[in-house]
Structure 1
Amino acid sequence: MPHPLDSFFAPASIALIGASRDHEKIPGRLLAMLRKNAYPGKIYPVNPNYAEIDGLACYKSIADVGAPIDLAVIIIPARTVLAALEQCAAAGVKNAVIISSGFAEEGGDSAAMQDAIAALARRTGMRISGPNAEGFFSQVQRVAATFSPAVDVKPGVVPLVATQKRIGIVAQSGGIGFAYYNRAKALGVAVSYVVSAGNESDLGAGEFLDYMVQDASTDVILLFIEGIRDVEKFIAAARRAAEVKKPVIVTKVGRSGAGERAAASHTASMAGWSAAYDAVFAKYGFIVSNDLDEALTIAAVLASNPLPRGDRVAVVTVSGGAGIWGADAVALRGLQVPELSESIQAGIRTLMPSYGTARNPIDVTAQGVTSGGLQKSVDLLTASDEVDAILVVLSLSSEVRMPFSEPELKPLLSAQHKPVVFYSYTLPSDFARRELAKSGAVVLSGLTHVGVTMRQLVDYASFKLPKPVDETRLPARDLSAYLTSPVLSEADSKALLRTAGIALPDEVLVKDRGGLDEAIARAGFPLVMKVQSPDIAHKSEIGGVRVNITTKGEVFLAFESLLNNARKHRPEADIQGVLVGPMAKKGVEIIVGTMTDKTFGPMVMVGLGGITTELFRDVVYRPASVSVEEAGAMLAGLKAAPLLNGFRGAAKADVAALAQLIADISVLAARHAGEIAEIELNPVLVHAEGQGVTIVDALVVGRN
């Protein structure tokens, strides 16, 4: 089925607006790159100052071309771009790439010019990439619509190609996108597309991702993003990638942040600048990498190997020390390096000298290379069901000798039974890279990156897209009557949650001493008392909480003490009274919350709760809403997960009830995203299995 961007990435004709004869300048390099890469379509240079450029007729304006044009590449001064686009639209040009800079990145009037470009795209239907873009490269179609030197073709140089599968690269930085391509070429990883999104006046990273997901020539996707503008398209493309199991490796920059998020709740204040991005990546199974070489290593292994069926790794080496190092690299990432069965070991021992070892890591020694023991050991392990992946650790510095023979290695790798990863602890020679490439093997030279990659492959192989959310459990209710102030007190927050269908303990808000007897009768002893004010979010910090009260006398004394503490520490606060309720049974303290991200909207969070919440920051976020199944996966992702699963002989906690609460709160947050900015339940006490959960404290923040 055709895609709307087919004519963008595979244009039959290209107009170069601002073309030049000077190959040292960007406009001239654009034409040179197209021709060096043997672009098969028609090229129309447009520049009123020339009659011809490099043997091609040059036109005064796009209107003079008089032929259908799929793509216009524009490199002229910023102030003249809009008029050129109007002429392109009038001439029926389908797509445009604006290389020119000087738009929103400068602010002021320049930003207004970019807004006008966006409006033109909406009005005319012409698809526009940029401005301030580095263009794109379609390797399969030989379209080098970029000035990047990474796509330059050197005469007589035969490209290194090790993979049949191709990676597609989408980058919000042209320099980094083509850096990925540059390094992929050096590894022998085939590429389908490299596209630089620029300022995204019209086409954005989400739409480019969508193209790569549906593109049959793209098998793995590399994303480099600063921020997503076309959010709905991005999310839809991310979901499709997960559905068709097409790996997406993402690097998100801008994680450090120059300031702090202003927020009333722990939920939002702990979110950081990229928590929502990481939550979206996790939901759709993206592989996150914050290092350029690491990302390329992951892409290279995915492009040359099947996914593993489990986490058991065999390490095969020609050097004992290097083999141990390789085993450490994967074991430190939580993968298993199991001792092999006696039958497998016996088979391997016949292939090596007596001073080798067959246990795992397997050291066939340098002699095992010359005798063919290395190749035969890999053959045996590939056929064995005792391991799920093989890491080959060896020296590939030789310019003349190869440890494998192509006729034996190529069929083994082509069969794609399990991943076979090649790591050279010496700098690999060009000879070795090219010889192994003939068999479909990529040579890697960063052991830490190899360890991370093998872990990521195991995790990606087991990823499943979460099931749809059941939104029918919670009744649809009007909550506007509770949201009369920006920050709700605990009592008001709990009243809102009760109305929404969330189960809470029976508590009474007491405004004067006369109401205490009734409150005691309802709560029973032992009980807890907490001062209530929308202006006091963290009550314990001002002496506003009393717990484990067991006598009527203590209740009356605590009532006065709590009010006095509130007036003393927060004289300006609006005091509603004191909330009286039963003491909860013991349980694991968990925080459940929601916050609103400016890009992706409502997020739900769960973490280790209580007063140490911000100390340990053991939290997991996901876009709201989530299913019970996904909530369970969030809990499994906590470092504190063992506390819920019967740590050191304790009773197993009611994880099912907690997962249901997380799901319900997430549905509530998503349903009322226009009214509620934050929800925080802290702590939620998770009791023994089958005994449910108790929401001890609650905070709701309305949208301003």
Structure 2
Amino acid sequence: MPHPLDSFFAPASIALIGASRDHEKIPGRLLSMLRKNEYPGKIYPVNPNYTEIDGLACYKSIAEIGAPIDLAVIIIPARAVLPALEQCAAAGVKNAVIISSGFAEEGGDSAAMQDAIAALARRTGMRISGPNAEGFFSQVQRVAATFSPAVDVKPDVVPLVATTKRIGIVAQSGGIGFAYYHRAKALGIAVSYVVSAGNESDLGAGEFLDYLVQDAATDVILLFIEGIRDVEKFLAAARRAGEMKKPVIVTKVGRSGAGMRAAASHTASMAGWSAAYDAVFARYGFIVSNDLDEALTIAAVLASNPLPQGDRVAVVTVSGGAGIWGADAVALRGLQVPELSERIQTEIKTLMPSYGTARNPIDVTAQGVTSGGLQKSVDLLTASNEVDAILVVLSLSSEVRKPFKEEELTPVLAAQKKPVVFYSYTVPSDFARRELAKSGVVVLSGLTHVGVAMRQLVDYAKFSLPKPADETRLPARDLSAHLISKALSEADSKALLRAAGIALPDEVLVQEKTGLDDAVARIGFPLVMKIQSPDIAHKSEVGGVRVNITTKGEVFLAFEALLANARKHKPEATLQGVLVGPMAKRGVEIIVGTMTDATFGPMVMVGLGGITTELFRDVVYRPAPVSAEEAGAMLAGLKATPLLNGFRGAARADVPALSQLIADISVLAARHAQEIAEIELNPVLVHAEGHGVTIVDALVVGRK
């Protein structure tokens, strides 16, 4: 099925508005790059100052061309861009890339000009990329609509290509997008597209991602983002990538305060909140990398290998020390390096000198290269069911010597039985890279990145999209009567949650001393008493909590003390009374909460609860709503998860009941996103298996 952006990425004709004869300047470089990369379509330079440029007829305006134009590339002063776009729309141009800068990234009137560009795109239906973009490169269709030197073609230089699978690159920074391409080219990773999104007046990163997800020529996607504007399109594309199991490697910058400031001024994009981005990435199985070389290493491993069946790695080396280092690199990422069976060791020992070792790591020694022991060990291990992946650690500095014969290595790797990753501890020579590329090998030279890439490969192989949330469990109810103010007291918050269908212990709000006898008769001992005020969020800090009360005398004394403490510490607070409730049975303390992210909307969070929440910050986020299954995956992602699974002989906690509570709260937050800003349940006590959970304290913050 055709995609709306087919004519953008594979235009039959291109108009260069602002074309120039000067190849040293950006407008001249654009024409030069298109021609050097052998663009097969028609090129129409537009500049009133010339009649021809480089042998091509030059037109005074776009209207003068009189032929259909799929793409206009615009590189003229910012003030002239909008009139040029109006002319393009009138001439029926389908798409435009605005290279020119000086728009929203400058603010003021310049931002207003960008708003006018966005309005023009909506009005006319013309698709516009930029302004402030570095253009794009479609290697498949040979469209170099960019001035980036990374796409320059040097005469007599044969490109290095090791992979048949291709990576597609979408970046909100043109410089970084083409840096990915530059490094991919050096490693021999084939590329389908590189696109720089610029200021995203119309076309954004989400729509470009959507194009690459459905594109048959793109097998792996690299994303570099500062902030997402076309959120719905981005999320739809992310879901589609998850459904198709097409890997997306993402780098999100603007995580620090300083980075966020720079992101806001760079593309006038909303940097957003990093935890929310990470939550979205986790839901859709995106592979997060915060390092350029690491991201390329992951891409290289994905583009040259099948996914592994498990986490057992064999390390094969020609140097004992390097092999141990390789084994450490994967083991430190939590992968297994198992000792091989006697049977396999016996077979491998016949392929190496007596001073080699076959246990794993397998050191065939330098002699194993010439004797064929290296190749035969790889053959043996690819056929073995004792390991799931192989890391080959060797020296590839030689300009003349080949460690493998192409006719022997190629069929083993082409069979794609399991990942075989190649790492050189010496600087790999161009000769070695090119020789191994013939067999489909990408030579890697950062061991830490190799360890990360192999771990990510194992994790990605296990990923599947979580089931959607069950939104029918909670009845849809009008909660407006409970949202009486922005900040609700615990008693009001719990009343709202009960009305929404969330199970809570029975409690009584006592306003006068005379109501205490009835409250005790209803709740029974032991009990808890807490001061209630919408103005007191942290009750324990004002001496507003009494626990484990077992006699009537204590009840009356506690009531007086709680009111006195609150008046002393917070004289301005409106006091509603004292909440009397049952003492909860013991359990693991967990926090469950929701908050609203400016970019992605409601988020649900779970973490280690109680007073240690802020100390350990052991929390996991997901976009709301989540299913109970996805809530379970969130819990599995906590460092504190052993506490739920029967740590040190304790009973296993009721994880299914906790997962269901997280799911219900997430549905509530998503359903009432316009009315509820935050929910915090802290602590939730998770009792032994089969005994459920108890919400001890709750706080709801409204939007009013």
Report the TM range for the smaller structure's normalisation.
over 0.9
The 4+ residue runs of structure 1 with deviation greater than 6 A are: 259-272
Per the TM alignment, residue 469 of structure 1 is displaced from its structure 2 partner at its CA by 1.3
**Whole-angstrom CA distance in 2 between matches of 1:441 and 1:177:** 24
Q: Distance in 2 between matches of 1:690 and 1:259?
A: 47
**Structure-2 change in CA distance of 1:371 and 1:30 (3 Å):** same
Q: Secondary structure at the match of 2:661?
A: helix
TM-superposed CA distance for 1:273, in Å, is 2.9
SS at match of 1:150: helix
Alpha-carbon separation, structure 1, partners of 2:473 and 2:50 = 70
Please, what TM-score do these two structures have when normalized by structure 2?
0.98
How many Å apart are 1:331 and its aligned residue?
Answer: 0.3
Match of 1:641 in 2: 641
> Deviations 1:604-624 (Å, cap 9, x if unpaired)?
000000011011000000000
Contiguous gaps of at least 5 residues in structure 2? none
The Cα of 1:258 is off from its aligned counterpart by: 5.0
Measured after TM superposition, the shift of residue 262 of structure 1 is: 20
Alpha-carbon distance change, 263 to 255 in structure 1, aligned in 2, over 3 angstroms = closer
**Deviation string for 1:357-399 (max 9, x for gaps)?**
0000000000111100000000000000000000000000000
CA deviation map 1:511-563 (0-9, x unaligned): 01011111111111110000001111111111111101111011111111111
Q: Distance in 2 between matches of 1:346 and 1:175?
A: 53
1:263–1:503 CA distance, 2 compared to 1 (3 A): farther
Q: Is the 8 A contact 2:254 2:263 kept in 1?
A: no
Indicate how the Cα distance of structure 1 residues 319 and 433 shifts in structure 2: closer, same or farther if over 3 A, else same: same
Residues 256 and 273 in structure 1, CA contact (< 8 A), matched pair in contact too: no
Higher deviation after alignment, 481-490 or 225-234: 481-490
Using a 3 Å threshold, how does the CA distance of structure 1 residues 691 and 312 change in structure 2: closer, same or farther?
A: same
In the TM superposition, what is the alpha-carbon distance from 1:482 to its structure 2 partner?
1.0
Deviations 1:233-257 (A, max 9, x none): 0000000000000000000000012
Q: CA RMSD in A?
A: 3.0
- Over 3 Å counting, the alpha-carbon distance change for 1:261 and 1:703 in structure 2 is farther
Call closer, same or farther: CA 1:267–1:568 in 2, change over 3 Å: farther
Matched-pair contact (CA < 8 Å) for 1:508–1:581: yes
Q: Aligned pair in 2 of structure 1 residues 260, 675: CA closer, same or farther (>3 Å)?
A: farther
- Decide whether the 8 Å contact of 1:265 with 1:680 is kept in 2: no
Contact kept, 8 Å, 2:150 with 2:182, in 1: the verdict is yes
Q: Is the 8 A contact 2:626 2:666 kept in 1?
A: yes
Distance apart, 1:585 and its partner CA: 0.1
Residues 385-431 of structure 1: CA deviation (Å, up to 9, x unaligned): 00000000000000000110100001111111000000000000000
Decide whether aligned partners of structure 1 residues 262 and 523 sit closer, same or farther in structure 2, where only a CA change above 3 A counts.
Answer: farther
Structure 1, residues 557-596: CA drift from partner, whole Å, max 9, x if none? 1111111111111111111110000000000000000000
Q: How far does the alpha carbon of each residue in 1:254-301 deviate from its partner, in whole angstroms, 9 at most, with x for none?
A: 001259999999999999930000000000000000000000000001
How far apart, in 2, do the equivalents of 1:311 and 1:181 lie? 30
Structure 1's 208 and 698: CA in aligned 2 closer, same or farther, altered over 3 A? same
Are the structure 2 counterparts of residues 494 and 266 from structure 1 closer, same or farther at C-alpha, using a change threshold of 3 Å?
farther
Question: Are the counterparts in 2 of residues 163 and 190 from structure 1 also a CA contact under 8 Å?
Answer: yes
Conserved? CA contact 1:262–1:269, under 8 Å: no
Q: Over residues 94-127 of structure 1, what are the superposed CA-to-partner deviations in whole Å (9 max), with x where a residue is unaligned?
A: 0000000000000000000000000000000000
* Residues 265 and 678 in structure 1, CA contact (< 8 A), matched pair in contact too: no
Describe the shift of the 1:360–1:623 C-alpha distance in structure 2 as closer, same or farther (beyond 3 A).
same
The answer to whether the 8 A contact 2:596-2:678 is kept is yes
8 Å CA contact 1:266–1:614 kept in 2: the answer is no
Question: Are the structure 2 counterparts of residues 158 and 459 from structure 1 closer, same or farther at C-alpha, using a change threshold of 3 Å?
Answer: same
* Distance in 1, Cα, partners of 2:599 & 2:268: 14
Instruction: Tell me the equivalent position of 1:564.
Output: 564
Measured in 2, the distance between the counterparts of 1:548 and 1:296 equals: 58
- Where 2:267 maps in the other structure, the secondary structure is helix
* Partner in structure 2 of residue 593 of structure 1: 593
Partner of 1:602: 602
Q: Is the 8 A contact 1:264 1:537 kept in 2?
A: no
Deviation larger for 516-525 or 82-91:
516-525
Preserved CA contact (<8 Å) 2:227 2:269: no
Distance 1:271 1:162, change over 3 A: closer
CA contact (8 A) 2:226 2:269 kept: no
Equivalent position SS for 1:603:
strand
Would you say the 8 A contact 1:71–1:97 is kept in 2? yes
SS at match of 1:195: strand
In the alignment of these two chains, the number of paired residues is 704
Provide the TM-score with structure 1 as the length reference.
0.98
Deviations 1:672-701 (A, max 9, x none): 000000000000000000000000000000
SS at match of 1:660: helix
C-alpha separation in 1, matches of 2:679 and 2:180:
41
Say yes or no: does 1:138 pair with 2:141.
no
- Return closer, same or farther for 1:209/1:269 CA change in 2, 3 Å cut-off: closer
Decide whether the 8 Å contact of 2:105 with 2:267 is kept in 1: no
Question: Do 1:160 and 1:437's aligned partners in 2 also have CA atoms closer than 8 Å?
Answer: yes
Helix, strand or coil: the match of 1:612? helix
Structure 2 SS opposite 1:571: coil
Task: Check the 8 A contact 2:227/2:271 in 1, yes or no.
Answer: no
CA contact (8 A) 1:322 1:425 kept: yes
Q: Give 3-state SS (helix, strand or coil) of 1:473's partner.
A: coil
Distance (Å, rounded) in 2 between the aligned partners of 1:536 and 1:292: 47
SS in 1 for 2:260: coil
Asked if structure 2 preserves the Cα contact closer than 8 Å seen for 1:392 and 1:423, the reply is: yes
Contact 2:104–2:267 (Cα < 8 Å) also in 1: no
1:531·1:563 contact (CA, 8 Å) conserved in 2? Answer: yes
Question: In 2, are the aligned partners of 1:268 and 1:678 still within 8 Å (CA)?
Answer: no
User: Residue 254 of structure 2 contacts residue 271 of structure 2 at CA under 8 Å; is this kept in 1?
Assistant: no
Distance in 2 (alpha carbons) for counterparts of 1:66 and 1:534 = 70
CA distance in structure 1 between the partners assigned to 2:430 and 2:360 by the alignment: 30
Match of 2:334 in 1: 334
Q: Conserved in 1, the CA contact under 8 Å of 2:264 and 2:271?
A: no
